[in-house]
Structure 1
Amino acid sequence: MRRSGAAAGAVAASSLVSGVAHAEPGATSSANAAGTTLEKVGVGGRANAKGYRKLVQGKGWPLFIREELATAKSGRDDRRTAVASFVQLTDIHITDVQSPARFEYVHPIQGPAFRPQEALGTQGAVALINRINALSGGPFTGRAFDCVVSTGDNTDNHEIIELEWYQRLLAGGAITPNTGSKTRFEGVQALGSALYYRPELDKPDIYKDRGFPTIPGILHAAMRTHTSPGLNMRWYSVFGNHDDQLLGTVPNGLVDWLYLSDVKYDLPGSDPTAQAIGQALGSDPAAVAGMLAKLKTTGPTLPATRDLRRRPYSPREFVRRHFDPALTGAGPVGHGFADPEGPTWYKFQIAPGLLGIAMNTTNSMGIADGSISEKQLAWIERQISSHSDQLVMVFSHHTSSTMTAKLPNPETPGERTFDGTHLVERLKSHTNVIAWVNGHTHRNEMIAHRGSTGKHSFWEINTASHIDFPQLARIIEVSDNKDGTLSIFTPLIEADSPYTADTSDLSQKGLASLYRELSYNDIHADLELLGKASDRNCELLLTHPLR
């Protein structure tokens, strides 16, 4: 936490292999960098006595030219024509922070179990939507955005109320981010121990020990009804492991009673049961059921007002909800899904000549990592082959390296499952796949997948989350360079909220600013999630497969 993101990027850039990836200081001179991280980024300012840092405006990140799959030819800036331009959201993790079906007390072992900023997630998401709506289009091609694609973990705990909030954010409308009591915040940030950031209490906790501020009224402000304008363009949803299972890893059905409980567990960090649950969540999630059954009688607990809106949804219900006319917004109807009762994967037209294929890579066995089913993979290959006159991009939640869950998937009984290595090889067997866009790792990374020829090669584009710092989304622009190559530009964007938060400003925008600043200072924050400088704002070169 001592280094700024800019400094970390400079170190990473210095280790790049010359000639494969290089920064182009003048490459953005003809681009419209306004509103992107090409122009400016939030970085940590001077630390207070305990180490807490206000965010301040920092210098924008450079554009890196990536030539692992094709050589950049001079004059392409003047020749290129736009093929498509869209925005990727990922890992937005809209969270019901007051739900009894959470395990905040294991955060010393499993950091994502509790985040100091998590109660402000919907306000932070509105600020990101405002940013997207305000941009005129891709900074390099100038093309207006064709659509937005959210690549999974749209919800944190696959509760029906979280799904409603997520859809309301993207479709537009009023959101009241509160469950349980209508008048009292019942989460651990109000009622819990010093293990959590308790912003409204003038009492110590392990976060205030690190300089976190006391902010009277913030939790009550977080519960207030606020409004999202909704995206002003088409949007599509991809299914993630947190959309599929409790905490993204506990097998469905084992502890579903927890969602509608009238108590919330709050174990001290030193409790052996808390440590055992934390370890089980990472290695044997099914074992959690027995441990929770014991806690029913031993506690300790906090009061929780029972709320039926917390019930978990099934994959089929996730699909059906996307056909709700009250949540359609800019459309399309179904947001990519072909049938309310149909599969959780689909194809969609990103732009003329560019087909999108949304995959479901989750495995419901109780595993955070992913896989792909036999039937789905066969369908994907048929779509790619039957659209051989188009460029193809595939989308998923998991990355190639996090698709390791080859155990049978309860959602696809009797089918074989395949890992990411197998999927990469199948995609490379086709000549028209140009990119695989994903999330899950909460980290920026670009991977060049070289096939037997240039036309059998593609880029994997992995983007950081919007819950953990650096809280980003990504513009993806595809251009034809008219020289036998394509360029895929990947500039990152931040939410439209002030970098430096004002603790006295508890407006919707003020809370969005705190959402980012608290995430930067989270005791579990990892600046490595920024990725290398060459994994952020890029021009990815590849052979045009249709030329």
Structure 2
Amino acid sequence: VQHPLRYEYLRSQTASAWRPQESLSVAGAVSLVERVNALRGAPVTASPLHFVMTTGDNTDNNAKSELDWFLKAMSGGRITPNTGDPRRYEGVQDSGLKLYWQPDAALRDADKQLGFPRIHGFLDAAIGELRSPGLNLPWYSTVGNHDALPGGCYAPGDSFFADFAVGGRKLMELPDSAGKAIWDNVKKGGDPKGQAFKDLLKSQARHMRSVTPDESRAPFTPAEYLKAHLDPAHTGPGPHGHGYTQANVDAGTQYYAFRVSDDILGISLDTTDPGGHYEGSVGTTQLNWLERTLKDNEKNGDSHVIVFSHHTGKTMRNLRQDPHHPREARHGGDELLAL
């Protein structure tokens, strides 16, 4: 929630830009882990749970700090969900701006007018150290667009975004007209490389606020994402890699199949489009792999398959080419569901 690339200032355009509870995301994830651990079995059969699957956007800003928090939340460890100044929160919730809930302040902000309370010490608590017990059953991981793309929607690899992420300036407010223009463009997929977003940030340089630079906010690559899952420190209850294997690292892929039970096969897809935009699709290579996997499963007489993906069929409409595979076609939700 303190990441410089976040666009909370678009809140007036879209509720997804910022939500009042987001500073509690890590604490909420740990609480969810504790709740899952407390479940003794299915409500009807009492059968014990087999595994947990995350379905993407395990991080928000494609930041190394967040990846570390996610893996420790899932497999166990101590977490300090804070970047920048280690002594205090530096983000929109202590900005004095009425657009955001200011929990520690007396300011009558927009959220307090809707009933949100004033809570002394809220932000200190939100960035304080906590310990996750880790899940007590195996867990698997599916990738989402926020795990791979700057802002969840721009093609990765631009050094401007990487430098901005670890830097000491953060934009917290924007005129509604400029916000509407940038958001309308994003919704239409009109800025896949983030050039308009970059131009906006440059044009607003004088209006940015100072925050403490932090290298831990640097973006991670898909290879680093895989290697972090394969780190023995994050194995927890297993499996090692949480679905990913060294074969994924070698091939540069983030999709895999795993055995749920004797008669159920699990398949985890990578539906993020490296060409940019928050909607997804799959490349021909992955679609062909899926078809082979389904046919092999049928030949073996297995009766059921569960397919996991971050995007739904309706949000796989982005057929922009993968810049790393420019000759490969992309395939949308309709084609995937037909298969």
- For this structure pair, what is the TM-score category when the shorter chain's length is used for normalisation? over 0.9
Residues 291-370 of structure 1: pairs in structure 2 closer than 5 A: 291-296=200-205, 299-339=206-246, 340-342=249-251, 343-370=253-280
Q: CA deviation at 1:295?
A: 2.1
- Which deviations, in whole Å up to 9, do the C-alpha atoms of 1:149-175 show, x marking residues without a partner? 111111111111111111110001111
Instruction: Spell out, residue by residue over 1:113-143, the C-alpha distance to the aligned partner (whole angstroms, 9 max, x if none).
Output: 1110000011111111111111112112221
Structure-2 residue corresponding to 1:138: 42
Give the one of 387, 411, 430 matched to 2:297.
387
Residue matched to 1:417: 330
The equivalent position to 2:164 in structure 1, one of 247, 258, 276, is 258
Partner SS state of residue 74, structure 2: helix
Contact preservation (8 Å) 1:192, 1:266: no
| Structure with greater helix share of residues | 2
Q: Return the alpha-carbon distance in structure 2 between the equivalents of residues 275 and 402 of structure 1.
A: 22
Relative to structure 1, the CA distance from residue 132 to residue 182 in structure 2 (aligned partners, 3 Å threshold; closer, same or farther) is same
Say whether 1:407 aligns with 2:320.
Answer: yes
Gaps (5+ residues) in structure 2?
none
How far apart, CA to CA, are the structure 2 residues paired with 1:409 and 1:359? 16
Superposed counterparts of 1:434-513, under 5 Å: none
Return the match for 2:81 from 162, 168, 177: 177
CA distance in 2, matches of 1:238, 1:421: 20
8 Å Cα contact 1:280-1:288 kept in structure 2: no
Give the 3-state SS of the residue equivalent to 2:73 in structure 1: helix
**DSSP-derived class of the 2:104 partner:** coil
Is residue 189–residue 196 contact of structure 1 (8 Å, CA) maintained in 2?
Answer: yes
Aligned pairs for 1:156-171 (under 5 A) are: 156-171=60-75
How far the C-alpha of 1:326 sits from its partner, in A, is 1.0
> RCO greater where, 1 or 2, for CA within 8 Å and sep 6 or more?
1
Q: 2:199 matched to 1:290? A: yes
Match of 1:222 among 121, 126, 137: 126
For the residues of structure 2 that align with 1:383 and 1:403, how far apart are their CA atoms?
A: 21
**Distance in 2 between residues matched to 1:327 and 1:163, nearest whole Å:** 11
Number of corresponding residues: 327
Q: Is contact 2:106-2:118 (8 Å) kept?
A: yes
SS at match of 2:334: helix
Per-residue deviation, 1:321: 0.8
1:275 aligned onto 2:168: no
Q: Aligned AA for 2:243?
A: G
Does the CA contact (< 8 Å) of 1:316 and 1:344 recur in 2?
no
Partner residue in 1 for 2:100? 196
- C-alpha separation in 1, matches of 2:276 and 2:202: 18
Match of 2:283 in 1: 373
Q: Measure the CA separation in 2 of the matches of 1:203 and 1:193.
A: 9
Greater strand share, structure number:
1
Residues 99-108 or 333-342, more deviating: 333-342
Deviation at residue 411 of structure 1 after TM alignment: 4.4
Cα drift, residue 103 of structure 1: 0.8
State the alpha-carbon separation in 2 of the partners of residues 280 and 111 from structure 1.
16
User: What is the CA distance between 1:101 and its match in structure 2?
Assistant: 1.1
RMSD: 1.4
Amino acid aligned to 2:33: I
- 1:3-82 alignment, distance < 5 Å: none
Q: Quick one: distance in 2 between partners of 1:268 and 1:415?
A: 39
Aligned to 1:431: none
User: Residues of 2 paired with 1:302 and 1:214: CA distance?
Assistant: 24
Q: Is the Cα–Cα contact under 8 Å of residues 148 and 233 in structure 1 kept in the other structure?
A: yes
Q: For 1:413 and 1:232, how far apart are their aligned partners in 2? A: 42
Deviation at 1:346, TM superposition (A): 0.6
Q: 1:170 to 1:294 in 2, by over 3 A?
A: same
The percent identity for this pair of structures is 39
In the other structure, the counterpart of 2:20 is: 116
Which residue does 1:396 correspond to in 2?
309
Task: Indicate the structure (1 or 2) with the bigger Cα radius of gyration.
Answer: 1
For residues 182 and 402 of structure 1, the distance between their equivalents in structure 2, rounded to whole angstroms, comes to 38
Give the AA of the match of 2:312. T
Give me the whole-angstrom Cα distance separating, in 2, the residues matched to 1:313 and 1:175. Answer: 19
Q: Structure 2 CA distance, aligned partners of 1:170 and 1:413?
A: 36
In the alignment, the residues of structure 1 paired with residue 43 and residue 112 of structure 2 have an alpha-carbon distance, to the nearest angstrom, of 41
Cα distance in 2 for residues equivalent to 1:176 and 1:204: 30
Could you report, residue by residue, the CA deviation over 1:280-334 in whole angstroms, capped at 9, with x for unpaired residues? Answer: 33232332122222223xx311111010010111122111110111111111111
2:186 and 2:277 in contact (8 A); partners too: no
1:18 alignment counterpart: none
Which deviations, in whole Å up to 9, do the C-alpha atoms of 1:34-88 show, x marking residues without a partner?
Answer: xxxxxxxxxxxxxxxxxxxxxxxxxxxxxxxxxxxxxxxxxxxxxxxxxxxxxxx
Structure 2 residue identity aligned to 1:319: L
Q: CA deviation at 1:384?
A: 1.4
Q: Deviation at 1:269?
A: 4.3
Q: Is the 8 A contact 2:230 2:245 kept in 1?
A: no
**Aligned 8 A contact 2:3 2:61 in 1:** no
Structure 1: gaps (5+ residues)? 1-96, 427-547
Cα distance in structure 1, aligned partners of 2:60 and 2:224: 16
1:234 aligns with 2:138: yes
Partner SS state of residue 163, structure 1: helix
